[in-house]
Structure 1
Amino acid sequence: MPYRYKSIRNMACAVSTAALIALAPSLSLAAGNVTFGQPVEPAGLDPTVGAPVASGEVTWQNVFEGLVAVDRDGNITPQLASAWTLSDDGLTYTFTLRPDVTFHNGVTFDSTTAKFTLDRILSKDSTNGQKALYSVIDSVDAPDTATLVLHLSKPSSNLIYWLGFPSAVMVEPSTADSNKTTPTGTGPFKFDEWRKGDRVLMSAYDGYWGEKPSLDAITARFISDPQAQAAAILSHDVDVFGKFEAPELFSQFKGDDSLSTHVGVGEMEIVAGMNNTRPPFDDIRVRQALMMAVDRNILIQGVESGFGNPIGSHFSPASPYYVDLTGEYGFDIDAAKALLAEAGYPNGFEFTMKVPTRSYATRSAEILQALFTQIGVMAKIESSDFPAGWIKDVFKDTNYDMTIIGHAEPLDIGIYARHPYYFNYNNPAFDAVMDDIAAATTPDARAAGFKKAQEIIGHDVPALFLYSAPKLGVWDAKLTGIWENGPVPSNDMTDVSWSE
């Protein structure tokens, strides 16, 4: 079967290093500047608006900060809140805010602006893609400028972690409407310019409250084409590509002493989401049969050149809560055919895969298309422009049969308990387990809850659980402080510096 990924690989092999370098002009390095690349240009630069992670990959920690932060090891650390306490009943968080913090426009950060930020996330007209994570917050009080109090409707053991996400960064009220194009935060770098279709320019903020960064300026470059990404790296036109998405081109960097490469782990699960209310995907037997038609190892080899890990539920092996359920509905063509016949589809069926314009999604779709033919299922592939088109058709309108997408937020298995959500999956038993996790008071109880949650959706298969994506990083060998792993999708440049 002539998969498209083979042609991409052959093309890559035919392009010499010299030719790649010629594709992008070489720029001399400025000691205080770093340019990082990312495959997707966001629709906006405010991570509190919309669902895609691309905006946070530009501005999270660089321009915007939160009450707390998730660090490179996945730990929660104080940020704009220097300390916090949780009441014995688990229903009240009290945060002590840092003094002398200003936004880039000179406005002081205090409890009033923090309250505004959280109220805005929870408001009826909120467009925050992660709003459901914070819905447990019943009300927010600002008793004095340095104190913020969150009253919860029920205990939530995950809330402090979610407050460290890009979706919960602090927003200055007068800039809330303009942050999408001209972001104003409290971070170590301030926004300078967005050259649409190309790059975002940021420079060090002189009034930063914390430790000043080593860099004078940073630039986000948007390069979607894999070969152009490689060219930019090899020519040092881009200094860092923390999430290089062309694994078939990755090996060429390892022989270049001027570059550092790293195969890291991340939290992104690649799944083939199904519309669980649309026939035939409303039948659990059909979903299970499709899962058994997928050879995950072939998929990973074809899409990620062997990098990545098979998954059997919505958790990455990078997580301490991961349970290996890949054997639950492992590759078994005969069993898949039998289940389809039992469900009333002995001759298979036809459907459409609405696939976002991301290389991993396109490659995955073409391989799945071939694998499904082995059980008589015919999949038509329909491209959907990402992010705008896909978000409207799939994420918002749920006008689709099957799609393929990477979910990058850590601990996001709770999306299967959101109603509505694009899977249209509804299992009260799963919802109850998520409530138990939220109310857990011990690490063992949380771990047991996450295990049960994985087992339920691993059995119900609301999405085809494919693989955990690798975090392939490549950067200038003289750079230090780059995140090698990805507990949160980001390009955090705050600790990056050039070595002598």
Structure 2
Amino acid sequence: MRKHILVLLLVCSFLFGIGILGEAKTLVIGIHDDLATLDPADFSHRQTEIMLRQIYEGISTYTPSREIQYELAESIEAIDDTTYEIRVRKGVKFHDGTPLTAEDVAFSINRLVKPGAMAGRTSQRRGLMGPTKEAVVVDDYTVHVKLENPWPLFPRFIPWQMIVPHTVGDGYITEPVGTGPYMFHEWVRDSHFSVVSNPNYWRGKPDIDRVVFRVIGDESARVSALRAGEIDIATKVPVHEIAALEAAPNIDVLSVLGTRSYFLEMNVNKPPFNDVRVRQAMNYAVDINTLIEVLYEGMATRIPFVLSPQAFAYHDGLQFFEYNPEKAMQLLAEAGYPNGFEFELDVVDTHRSRAEIYQAMLSVVGINAKIRTWPTVSAMRDAWMQAKNKPVHEQRDALLTDWGNASLDPFDILIP
């Protein structure tokens, strides 16, 4: 069997849709980060979505061409300006044999949108539901979703919400039960996550019996595991490895221009980043074109805004901040920082080289970026969330991060 490597570019996509195995029955995927939770309503993390999507399904999904395709729904229709009717698919069962009904769909939506619905907390995915107010059961297979105000984007955002049994109540999910093609088998944190095929899947039993997501945080180790045949697919592969992998007789390299944007995020509530002149100076001080050549060997697309060029309503007339260290120093002086300033820059271990390039470029204009590394994206994001409610001076300064936009709609990436 040929090994496969999936290369994700700047403005990157997420995996999925695998149809590459022949006789093999176990697929091992090398991933760069562990999943954050087993609860599909309590994350904001693409790796978690990829893995949980093997277990759970939504009322609809997207085709590779970004068309909406019904999944656990037979139809989704607007019946007035602020109400959508969902007709639930009949004959679908959860992994425990319980039939899927409108009660499960309504419960799953309400769990996402109602404050405090998750053991007193509000779902991290609440923002993706826009002005959705509540879901009401009409009959065994009909749900009415009520909106606070008209929102034509509802059908484009409901696909990302996964349906769970209503019997989970108001607690957190630790034993996942979904309707998807695979059933939960095991999660060993920071090691692996595995699922086994659902023999009673409503679309038919999957060809692959078992899928293992193996956490390999180090890029070189991930590539070595691929070469050694320990994994079948590797994600997030460093660009300097691509040429050699393309030449390997037993490896396919698949590269795509995706929807993930990489950027430096500043805490605009905390000095000095609460001054727009400082934020502008940061932009003028970093030579993005050089960064792309040095770090990504040209395999990236520069964007003037956080939105992917593939997204709906992308405006190609937006101006870039051209590299201009003199302009940066002028703005810093105007903002009261003639000698620059110091701040802490958070970054995941695997992206330290990117942080070091930023650090070197910012130092030219007197800005000292002290790099703090984190083992995983989840750990870094958790630290930011925990500091968010503290006094401003105790909050984090800035981080190098990335954000996905799988729906290709601006709303998806511009929400908090």
Give the TM-score normalised by structure 2. 0.86
**Residue in structure 2 matched with residue 141 of structure 1 by the alignment:** 136
2:96 aligns with one of 96, 102, 105: 105
Determine the C-alpha separation between the residues in 2 that align with 1:352 and 1:259.
40
For 2:155 and 2:251, locate their aligned partners in 1 and report how far apart those are by CA, in whole Å.
Answer: 37
Q: Name the residue aligned to 2:155.
A: 160
Question: Is structure 2 residue 392 aligned with structure 1 residue 400?
Answer: no
Secondary structure of 1:393's aligned partner? helix
2:160 is the counterpart of 1:170: no
Q: Residue in 1 aligned with 2:45?
A: 52
State the 1:343 CA deviation: 1.7
Question: What residue in structure 1 maps to residue 233 of structure 2?
Answer: 240
1:337 corresponds to 2:329: yes
Does residue 292 (structure 1) correspond to residue 290 (structure 2)? The answer is no
Match of 1:356 among 343, 348, 351: 348
The aligned amino acid for 2:297 is S
Residue-by-residue CA offset, 1:204-227 (whole Å, 9 max, x unaligned)? 111111243222222211111111
Give the structure 1 partner of residue 217 of structure 2.
Answer: 224
Q: Which amino acid aligns with 2:102?
A: S
2:367 is equivalent to residue 367 of structure 1: no
Matched, 1:281 2:273: yes
Change (3 A) 1:346 1:414: farther
The superposition leaves residues 431-473 of structure 1 with CA deviations (integer Å, 9 ceiling, x where unpaired) of: xxxxxxxxxxxxxxxxxxxxxxxxxxxxxxxxxxxxxxxxxxx
The alpha-carbon deviation at position 267 of structure 1 amounts to 1.3
What is the CA-CA distance between 1:396 and the residue it aligns to? 4.3
| Offset of residue 395 of structure 1 | 3.3
Mapping of residues 26-175 of structure 1, within 5 Å: 31-60=24-53, 62-89=54-81, 91-125=82-116, 126-165=121-160, 168-175=161-168
SS across alignment from 1:366:
helix
User: Which residues in structure 2 correspond to 1:191-210 (within 5 Å)?
Assistant: 191-210=184-203
Q: 1:289 to 1:326 in 2, by over 3 A?
A: farther
Cα 1:265–1:211 shift into 2, 3 Å: farther
Counterparts of 1:303 and 1:47 in 2: how far apart (Å)? Answer: 34
Q: CA deviation at 1:384?
A: 3.2
Letter in 2 for 1:99: K
Report the Cα offset of residue 179 of structure 1. Answer: 7.1
Q: Is the 8 A contact 2:285 2:325 kept in 1?
A: yes
Q: Deviations over 1:132-189 (max 9, x none)?
A: 1214112211111111110111122322221111xx1001133468875432110011
Paired residue secondary structure (1:120): helix
- CA displacement at 1:65 relative to structure 2: 0.2
Residues 249, 127 of structure 1: alpha-carbon distance in 2 compared, 3 angstrom cutoff: farther
CA distance in 1, matches of 2:169, 2:30: 26
CA distance in 2 between counterparts of 1:145 and 1:296 reads: 55
- Superposed CA offset, 1:382-425 (max 9, x none): 2234344322321342321111111013347547875xx5xxxx
Q: Are positions 1:263 and 2:236 aligned together?
A: no
Q: Is the 8 A contact 1:136 1:154 kept in 2?
A: yes
Q: Secondary structure at the match of 1:318?
A: coil
Q: Secondary structure in 2 aligned to 1:286? A: helix
Q: Is the 8 A contact 1:314 1:413 kept in 2?
A: no
Q: Report the alpha carbon displacement of residue 334 of structure 1 after superposing the two structures with TM.
A: 1.7
Distance 1:259 1:66, change over 3 A: same
2:209 is aligned with what amino acid?
Answer: D
Shift of the 152–185 alpha-carbon distance from structure 1 to 2, 3 Å rule, reads same
**CA-to-aligned-CA distance 1:270-309 (integer Å, 9 cap, x gap):** 1111111111111111101110111112222333232211
Compared CA separation, residues 382 and 197, structure 1 to 2 (3 A): closer
Q: CA 1:93 to 1:415, structure 2 compared with 1: closer, same or farther past 3 Å?
A: closer
Q: Secondary structure at the match of 1:405?
A: strand
Contact 1:181–1:194, Cα closer than 8 Å, also in 2: no
Q: Which amino acid aligns with 1:45?
A: L
Identical amino acids, percent of aligned pairs: 26
Contact in 2 for aligned 1:175/1:184 (Cα 8 Å): no
What is the CA–CA distance in structure 2 between the aligned matches of 1:307 and 1:148, rounded to whole Å? 46
Q: Distance in 2 between matches of 1:195 and 1:162?
A: 31
Unaligned runs of 5+ in 2: 1-21, 389-394
Would you say the 8 A contact 1:313–1:325 is kept in 2?
no
Give, as a single letter, the amino acid of the residue that structure 1 aligns with 2:249. Answer: D
**How far 1:53 moved relative to its partner?**
2.0
Q: Please, which runs of 5 or more residues in structure 1 have no aligned partner?
A: 1-28, 422-500
Amino acid at match of 2:112: I
Given that residues 73 and 89 in structure 2 are in contact (C-alpha distance below 8 angstroms), is that contact kept between their aligned partners in structure 1? yes
Q: Separation in 2 of the partners of 1:315 and 1:135?
A: 19
**Do the aligned residues in 2 keep the contact of 1:372 with 1:379 (CA within 8 Å)?**
yes
**TM-score (normalizing by structure 1):** 0.72
Is 2:198–2:206's contact at 8 Å kept on the other side of the alignment? Answer: no
* 2:405–2:413 Cα contact (<8 Å) kept: no
- Are 1:46 and 1:55, in contact at CA under 8 Å, matched by a contact in 2? no
SS of aligned partner of 2:256: strand
Task: Return the letter of the residue paired with 2:175.
Answer: T
Distance (whole Å) between structure 1 residues aligned to residue 246 and residue 302 of structure 2: 25
Is the CA contact 2:164–2:178 (under 8 Å) kept in the aligned structure 1? yes
Structure 1 residues 229 and 325: alpha-carbon distance in aligned structure 2, compared to 1, 3 A threshold: farther
Separation in 2, partners of 1:33, 1:117: 31
Could you say if the C-alpha distance between residues 143 and 177 of structure 1 is closer, same or farther in structure 2, counting changes exceeding 3 Å? Answer: closer
Contact 1:310 1:326 in 2 (8 A): no
Cα pair distance change 1:416/1:203, threshold 3 Å: closer
How far apart are 1:69 and its partner, in Å? 0.7
Counterpart amino acid of 2:37? Answer: G
Pick closer, same or farther for the CA change 1:141–1:105 going to 2, 3 Å: same
Amino acid in the other structure paired with 2:148: S
